[in-house]
Amino acid sequence: MHYPNGRKNNHTYKTLSIANRAQGFSNRGMTLEEDINAANTYYRDMDKAVIHKKPTPIQVVNVHYPKRSAAVITEGYFKQPSTTDYNGIYRGRHIDFEAKETKNKTRFPLANIHEHQIRHMKSIAKQGAVCFLIIRFSAYEETYYMPAEVLFRYWDAQFNGGKKSIRYETIVKEGYLVPFHYQARVNYLAVIDKLYF
Which parts are annotated binding residues for Mg(2+)? 83, 85, 98, 117
Cα angle 178, 184, 185 (rounded to 5 degrees) comes to: 60
Q: Which residues are part of a known binding site?
A: 83, 85, 98, 117
Element (H, E) at 126: helix 115-126
Q: Give the CB-side neighbour count of residue 93, counting CA atoms within 13 A.
A: 16
Specify the 3-state DSSP secondary structure of 62: strand
- Alpha carbons 79 and 23: distance in angstroms, whole number: 40
